[in-house]
Amino acid sequence: MAQKKLQRFADIKTFPNVLEYPVAMKGQWHVFFKNNNPVVLELACGRGEYTVGLAKLFPKSNFIGIDIKGNRMYIGAKKCLSENISNAAFLRTQVEKLADYFNPGEVAEIWIPFPDPQLRISKAKKRLTHPRFLRLYQHILKPCGFIHLKTDSPGLYLFTKRVADMYDLTIIEDSGDVYAGDEIIPELRIKTHYESLDIAQSKKIHYLKFTLPGEIKNIDEQLQKVLRHEEQLD
């Protein structure tokens, strides 16, 4: 297994659709993709199922899967190369460093499918819908750019709705049970490797689509107090 991982690390260094900690990429994604189409991110992309799936559905947009684990993104990157999917790429870096790679307003949308829910209150700041991260997204997103969360974690779903209420996010779509509806949009039919494993043994998949306000309130300590209070009630 270790040898396989090492080989994948070596391989992605030769892949033209994988960038590992690149420099001077701010404002240069239109050059990389050779077009001016909208840029959409998949955060904590893992194997990149959403990056690949969305790229197939929307050929007039460019998709970038972002993760720190190069051996996982190898799978999505290789699939794109083998299927000649030219509007998808992968960026190996930490989500916390997004502002190092994108100019303000350079990103049209962000997808966060099945992130680690970080359910312990002490790790709430690591949740990818925590205001700490929303401020990062606000810096690179176009005004009113959409953020999509798809998760099997009721805790993360409810937490994000709590954040939306406290920080004046605008929820555009809210589904507590994605697959219960008669008409499921194609992008929500995409399944990640994690979802297919059904580790959480969840009967429901939750989805939120929202936008950020012009300014995100500085009330993170208040949010933490609310979370601790709710934990005590449980």
At 28 the pLDDT is: 97
At 1 the pLDDT is: 61
Type of residue at 189: R
Q: Which residue has the higher pLDDT, 141 or 228?
A: 141
- Residue 93 CA to its chain's centroid (Å): 13
Is the pLDDT confidence value at 200 over 80? no
Question: What does pTM read for this prediction?
Answer: 0.94
Q: H/E element holding 197?
A: helix 193-197
At 234 the pLDDT is: 62
Q: How far apart are CA 232 and CA 234, in angstroms?
A: 5
At 81 the pLDDT is: 97
At 133 the pLDDT is: 98
Per-residue pLDDT tens digits for 129-174 = 999 999 999 999 999 999 999 999 999 999 999 999 999 999 999 9
At 103 the pLDDT is: 97
At 172 the pLDDT is: 98
Percent of the chain with pLDDT strictly greater than 90: 81
Q: Where are the alpha helices (DSSP H) in 13-106?
A: 29-33, 49-57, 70-82
At 199 the pLDDT is: 55
- Residues 195-213 have a mean pLDDT of 83
Is the pLDDT confidence value at 216 over 60? yes
> What residue ranges in the chain does DSSP mark as E strands?
18-20, 39-43, 62-67, 88-92, 107-113, 141-151, 170-175, 206-211
Is the pLDDT confidence value at 230 over 90? no
Per-residue pLDDT tens digits for 32-69 = 999 999 999 999 999 999 999 999 999 999 999 999 98
Per-residue pLDDT tens digits for 91-124 = 999 999 999 999 999 999 999 999 999 989 989 9
Q: H/E element holding 6?
A: helix 2-12
Catalytic residues: 116
Question: With bands split at pLDDT 50, 70 and 90, how would you rate the model's confidence at 197?
Answer: confident
Tell me the average pLDDT of the chain.
Answer: 93
Is the pLDDT confidence value at 201 over 80? no
Q: Which domains can be identified in the chain, with CATH numbers?
A: 2-233 (3.40.50.150)
Q: What is the chain's Cα-based Rg?
A: 18
